[in-house]
Amino acid sequence: MADMLIGVVLADRYKLLSRIGEGAMGWVFLAEHVEIGKKVAIKVLRPSLCRLPEAVSRFRREARSATQIGSKHIVDVTDFGTTDTGSVYFVMEHLQGEDLGSLLKANKFLPWPRVLHFLEQLCEALQAAHDTGIIHRDVKPANFYRVEQDGDPDFIKILDFGIARLANPQDSIVTQTGVVMGTPDFMAPEQAMGKHVDHRADVYSLGASAYALLTGRPPFEGANEYDVIYKQLNDDPAPPSEVAPVAAKLPKWVDAIILKALRKNPEDRFASMKEFAEAIRKARAKAERSERPAKAEGSESEAAEPSSGRDETAEGSLAGREVGLAPMVWVWAAVGLVAAAAAAYALAQ
């Protein structure tokens, strides 16, 4: 069906050239504006889903969310329409690069300075989304796209607001209670339980994504999705520095930041993405200051470990498309094992 669309001109403007992506909801095509020759990407909802009001609503929400936020770190959506056969589509900028899930799969782990650079950009983009009242709900490496822009080869764009929702939801179809949506490896406990979530669920998911990028594996692994969710609800993750390969040389001060984002109770996490980013900047600045005198004295041991004890700057501010993981959005009723896990989680509080 998808290949039948190649060569079709949508709205007398966009000629579909080739299929460049596919997911559960639909296809992504490389297209060209017939008048000005500009390359764009067009996402088309599967015809079978166009008959489902809920699917169409989510598809429209993805397009509107990206447009409303208006961040340079979020893929730009420029048009929306319907094909002659009744399928809805939207037009977005064509990105040339790779998603961080694929980058991680090819490299096993990413250098921590590079990951922190990614994180600061992601915090900025997600803070902009939250300021607009939009929660992403599927923050994961596969939805972070690396491109070259503004002279930065590691410029990040966030994709896929398909299951995003408003912080104060009024659309009961899109935000059914008891239905879990997201990706288990990166899902916040309250989201896994099918509860109402706020922006702090994205904080958790970004922390889990950072954990995977730094160590090569998500915070929790299991035999299946249910096992992973149970651990999300009841277990504490090991510090990233203890899990990362020795070659990563991951400083222990990074642990405090990532583990803060991964707290079970939303109130114990960073209160905002802005606070998350500020914790990174303060902790890194303190570490750099600690290294300077050590290097001046020629002390390799001090330079390698900038903080001999507790990192007061980090802990002080903290107190107050596939990675070989689950690549697709996971939708299931929050019953059975999740209910048992939720009970254990509640008793632990």
Three-state secondary-structure class, residue 21: strand
One-letter identity of residue 281: R
Alpha-helix residue ranges (DSSP H) falling in 24-111: 53-69, 100-107
Q: 81 — alpha (psi -120 to 50), left (phi > 0) or beta?
A: beta
101 vs 145: CA distance, rounded Å: 9
How far from 211 is each of 208, 249, 255, 261, 340, CA to CA, in Å?
5, 14, 9, 10, 26
Write phi, then psi, for 145 (nearest 5 degrees): -110, 125
Roughly what angle, to the nearest 10 degrees, separates helices 337-348 and 225-234? 10
One-letter identity of residue 154: D
- CA nearest 208: which of 269, 249, 164, 286? 269
Find out whether 333 and 179 touch, Cβ atoms under 8 Å.
yes
The catalytically annotated residue of 138, 160, 185, 311 is 138
Residue burial 190-204, b: 16+ Cβ < 10 Å; e: rest: bbbbbbebebbbbbb
Three-state secondary-structure class, residue 81: strand
Catalytic annotation on 12? no
Find out whether 9 and 91 touch, Cβ atoms under 8 Å.
no
Q: What is the 3-state secondary structure (H, E, C) of 125-161?
A: HHHHHHHCCEECCCCCHHHEEEEEECCEEEEEEECCC
Catalytic positions: 138
